[in-house]
Chains A and B, each alone.
Chain A
Amino acid sequence: MGASATSLQHMSRLELTRRIVSAAGNELLVSGIGNATFDLIAAQDRVENFYMMGSMGLAIPIALGLAIAQPQRSVVVMEGEGSILMNLGALATVGREAPPNLTIVIWDNAQWQLTGGQPVATESSCDIAAVARACGIAHVDSPADPNAFERLVQRAIDSPGPHAIVARIDATGGRSAHMDPVYLKHRFMRALGLTPD
């Protein structure tokens, strides 16, 4: 870990995901490929969850599409730092579109945990919170502990955004789980009262 991170507590992604679910009520949750999805399934598998099983880097664009099409609902998307770096342009698009009902939670443990812990640029030189700010995202925070994280998530859901919350996490959690994509599509759309084509 970089020197700037040593004073921060490294939190558990699974524990923080449980706190998001608890704060979210029946709002819409989107999770990116890999551990973000695995820990959301483990925290609570609910019909308002949309799990991305592939398409690394596209959790934010999916959440932006949801937020635009359902302006009366709040959308929280969870995405790992490696996926964020794969598609940094998505942050610029969110900054430009400025959806008030979108909250981006970024899990940063400075490594590609799923592929063996290879270091990501956030370990040394890249500050994702600063990138999000520079892309024009209105509210960007880096909470120091789980209680501060939960307060920020609740505030983000309850107040106009877009919001980004960058959470320094440890490398625990992430127990592999897979679900059928077509089933997930139908389940999610029906939860919104919609019938797929």
Chain B
Amino acid sequence: MSVTNAVAWHTDIIEAFRANEIRLIAHVADSVLAPIIRRMEQDSFFRVVTLTREEEGVGLVTGAYLAGTRGALLLQSSGFGNTINALGSLALPYQIPFVMLLSERGSFMEHNVVQIAGGAAVPKVLDALGIQEFPLRRADEVSFVALQGARHAFVARRPVALTITTQLSGGKSGR
């Protein structure tokens, strides 16, 4: 695996997943997440599945968990809305733990007005569902928050959200 030019906080997230035995990575395409996913695809510890829609990922990580493999769903916050029924009627009532790694849209450095209403609503919707959100804001806190936030899902027996804020990522233009 090449780690040339590896961004340290990308490594921190990948290692937080590894330390929590999260092996199945389900994702919908996103430019902020893309370099993290590329590294996971090159790492035999992980099994990466590309989805057509975020909701599929809730089903996929549920099936994997039932079969003994922990999973994570990587998505843009604008696609979070596509998961709500699956969270409410599958992951939460069946108590399926997994990590949602959300790439934030609609905040600092957003360039597209249509992303703002949905993006800004994500923390409130998560809260309404009783899903804890742990924002990643500064590079020096990612190691701790990602490791402990991911671990928390398996203690709480429910999904948790780790949000890659645009403050951390620089948004689409900050890559």
Q: Does B128 contact A (CB under 8 A)?
A: no
> Contact between B71 and A192 (Cβ–Cβ < 8 Å)?
no
Interface residues of A in 44-93 (CB under 8 A from B): 50, 52-70, 73, 87, 89-90, 92-93
Residues of B within 8 A of A97 (CB): 49
Nearest CB to that of A88 among chain B residues?
B52
Q: Does A3 contact B (CB under 8 A)?
A: no
Q: Does B57 contact A (CB under 8 A)?
A: yes
Q: Does A149 contact B (CB under 8 A)?
A: no
> Contact between A96 and B94 (Cβ–Cβ < 8 Å)?
no
Nearest CB to that of B57 among chain A residues?
A61
Taking the closest CB of chain A, its distance from the CB of B85, in whole angstroms, is 6
Q: Does A134 contact B (CB under 8 A)?
A: no
> Contact between A69 and B68 (Cβ–Cβ < 8 Å)?
yes
Q: How many residues of A contact B (CB 8 A)?
A: 39
Q: Place the interface of chain B in its size category.
A: 35 or more
Chain B 52-78: CB-based contact to A (< 8 A → 1; otherwise 0): 110111111111111111010000000
Residues of A within 8 A of B58 (CB): 55, 58, 61
A-B contact pairs, 18 of them (CB 8 A): A54-B90, A58-B59, A61-B57, A62-B63, A62-B66, A62-B90, A64-B59, A69-B63, A69-B67, A70-B67, A89-B51, A90-B56, A97-B49, A181-B93, A182-B95, A185-B94, A192-B67, A194-B68
Report the 10 A-B pairs with minimum CB-CB distance, sorted nearest first. A65-B63, A54-B89, A61-B59, A89-B52, A58-B59, A69-B67, A55-B90, A65-B64, A69-B69, A62-B63
Q: B-contacting residues of A (Cβ < 8 Å)?
A: 30, 50, 52-70, 73, 87, 89-90, 92-93, 96-97, 181-182, 184-185, 188-189, 192, 194, 196-197
Known: A58-B59, A61-B57, A65-B67. 12 other contacts (CB 8 A): A54-B93, A55-B90, A58-B56, A58-B58, A64-B49, A65-B66, A69-B66, A87-B56, A89-B53, A93-B49, A184-B94, A197-B157
Q: A-contacting residues of B (Cβ < 8 Å)?
A: 24, 47, 49-53, 55-69, 71, 85-86, 88-90, 93-97, 154-155, 157
